[in-house]
Amino acid sequence: MSLNQRLPRPLTRDASRLRDDRLFIVACDDTYAPKQYFDFFQLPRVQVYVVATTDGSCAAADVLDRLLGYKREAEEDDELWMLLDTDHYTQGTHLPSFRGALSEARRQGVNVALSKPSFELWLLLHHVAETDLGELPAARDVEAALRAKLGQYNKTNLKREHYPLTSVCEACNRAERLDATVAGGEIPLENTTRVYQLLKTIAAKAHPRQLPPELRGLLT
């Protein structure tokens, strides 16, 4: 079905939403983990609406197509983001399509927070310094590292206590330092995660006095 034919589920905006509140519409190539993670953080004056993958279509072009289906409902100050994993999508015959999706995202004004190899690297940085990540070539390796650190990891059932607000600023600092060392530009050559860019933007759009104290470090 083409983008123009598809009728996405209407956005559910908080009935108490003020006119200057901000909405982030975030599409991802995962069904479970990102949506649960962002549901943990309810911030005043900011809503994060995660468009998860529900039909198995997780290629970057499919994620972008789903996101753009909501663009018509977005208001002027709303932001559109994609969370993408590289995993095997930047290898071999997958690479041209991945690059094409990133190019189209730029054209459409969509921001991209990419993780290599997977979103779980962002979760791991809540617990491990960027200098202690070790060799994690594939998504399954990152998930194994999370299990080793937490004693368990099930992406269908994230535990809020594993990702408290007190750990978010440090995760952002670690991710930002890691990202500064990685070559390759838009498609990194080494492991990194740019979810910190989305978190810092969300914090910047929140009302500073209403931002939880644990997250005020994201404003620096």
Mean pLDDT of the chain, nearest integer = 89
pLDDT band at 10 (very low <50, low <70, confident <90, very high): very low
pTM: 0.90
Is pLDDT larger for residue 103 or for residue 92?
A: 103
Which residue type, as a one-letter code, is found at position 181?
T
The residue segments making up the domain with residue 172 are 22-216
Number of domains in the chain: 1
* Count of helices and strands (H, E) across the chain: 7, 5
Is residue 8, in this structure, part of any structural domain at all?
no
Strand ranges of the sheet holding 79-85, from the earlier edge strand across to the other edge: 46-51, 22-28, 79-85, 111-116, 192-193
Neighbours of 118 (CB within 10 A): 26
Is residue 153, in this structure, part of any structural domain at all?
yes
Is residue 36, in this structure, part of any structural domain at all?
yes
Q: What is the pLDDT of residues 57-69, one digit of tens each?
A: 889 999 999 999 9
Q: What is the pLDDT of residues 199-219, one digit of tens each?
A: 999 999 988 888 999 999 999
Tokens of 83: 């969370």
**Which residues, other chains included, contact 148 with Cβ-Cβ below 8 Å and sequence gap of 6+?**
none
Is residue 2, in this structure, part of any structural domain at all?
no
Is residue 3, in this structure, part of any structural domain at all?
no
| Helix, strand, coil percent values for the chain (each to nearest 5) | 45, 15, 45
Q: What is the pLDDT of residues 153-167, one digit of tens each?
A: 999 999 999 999 999
Instruction: Give CA torsion, residues 133, 136, 142, 148, to 10 deg.
Output: -60
Q: Residue 117: in which H helix or E strand, if any? A: none
